[in-house]
Amino acid sequence: MKAALLAGLLAVPIGALAQDARPPLAVFGAPLGGTIAQVEQMALSRGYRRQASAAYCRDGEICVRHANIEELPGTDFVNDIWGGRKLPDRTEGFNFRFVAPPNEARAWSIGSDQEFGDWYHPSSAAPLLTDVLAELQARFGMPAAQFGGGGAKLAAGGGQDQSRQLWWLWDDQGRPLHWSDQMRATCYEALGSTAVSPGYMFGGITNAVVNPKPFLLARQGNCAVAARAIYGQTRGLVYSLSIRIVDFRAGHDALFRTNQLLQDKRGQANQQRSTRNRPDF
């Protein structure tokens, strides 16, 4: 089944996403499609330190997680860069996930989490809900859809619920998409399976670099890029804010090239194994 999906989905690469129609997307100033250097520079500018130990990651450190696909030579890459820290008035975390070889290391799934106290006691740093909503609209435009805490679709505007999800979707020309019932089974599910997991001392190790399913769903929904914001608010103060952004187009094209590389590497490994490990019975 997986082989069939790969064959159908990755028959040909589909090119670069047009950048002129949709707004630039970023987390803490580091862009979607950003390099390792850009992400590290963002973290350093926010006061994070470089990771002191490869074995674990401490509060306030820039954590780099390396990966290897099927233990094949030539497939080592940076899976993700993440970090989290606790400050007197907030907790924050970020995660940037990168494509695998032979592609240039670029972030295709990014996200951030922030907490400003809690529902009972928002901290002094908690921003106003009206300011958060205005900033989200200024950065991303009008949401394609909004959902309440229980998952029910809500009318646009207002935004006075205790918690709300806001979604933005763009097609492969960078044009904003309108919500439809099909989106929930395609783009909604695709982002849920590819979104990063930021947080204090938590990074997540999964990466969809060899999994075609989310890209197939995104393609069925015609969503090349998706963004989601989830906030929690009380008395007009935002005490939690979560941002997730995924470039399915870039992930799909990178997966095509990664799959080609894996076919070559598997063939080489099998040839060596056949020469070295002769049947002996």
Q: What's the pLDDT at 93?
A: 95
* Domain count of the fold of the chain: 1
Q: What's the pLDDT at 189?
A: 92
Mean pLDDT by 10-residue block, N- to C-terminus, for the chain (281 residues)?
Answer: 32 39 91 97 96 88 90 90 95 95 95 95 96 96 88 67 92 93 91 83 56 90 96 96 96 91 87 87 89
State which residues form the domain around 190.
Answer: 2-10+21-261
Q: What's the pLDDT at 19?
A: 47
Tokens of 92: 């924050």
Angstrom distance (rounded) from CA 19 to CA 33: 11
39 located within any domain: yes
Q: What's the pLDDT at 106?
A: 96
Q: What's the pLDDT at 12?
A: 34
Q: Smallest Cα–Cα separation from 164: which of 250, 232, 237, 77?
A: 232
Q: Smallest Cα–Cα separation from 204: which of 69, 49, 95?
A: 95
Give the bridge partners for 167, in sequence order. 145, 228
Q: CA 177, 179, 182, 185: dihedral to nearest 10 degrees?
A: 100
278 located within any domain: no
274 located within any domain: no
Q: Smallest Cα–Cα separation from 26: which of 177, 245, 215?
A: 245
The pairing of strands 153-154 and 61-67 is unpaired
210 located within any domain: yes
Angstrom distance (rounded) from CA 177 to CA 276: 54
User: What DSSP letter does each residue of 201-243 carry, written as one string?
Assistant: T------GGG--HHHHHHHHTT-SEEEEEEEEEETTEEEEEEE
- Phi, psi dihedrals of residue 226, rounded to the nearest 5°: -135, 145
Q: What's the pLDDT at 231?
A: 96
127 located within any domain: yes
Tokens of 231: 């906030």
253 close to 271: Cβ distance less than 8 angstroms:
no
Q: What's the pLDDT at 79?
A: 92
176 located within any domain: yes
Angstrom distance (rounded) from CA 268 to CA 104: 23
- The sign of the dihedral angle between the CA atoms of 120, 126, 128, 131 is negative
155 located within any domain: yes
Q: Smallest Cα–Cα separation from 167: which of 64, 245, 259?
A: 245
- 266: amino acid identity, one letter: R
110 located within any domain: yes
State pLDDT tens for residues 75-85.
899 999 999 99
Tokens 């929904």: give the residue: 221
Q: What's the pLDDT at 2?
A: 32
pTM of the full structure: 0.87
Q: What's the pLDDT at 209?
A: 65
Reading across the β-sheet that carries 77-87, which strands appear in turn?
49-50, 61-67, 77-87, 90-98, 107-115, 237-247, 225-234, 163-170, 145-148, 153-154
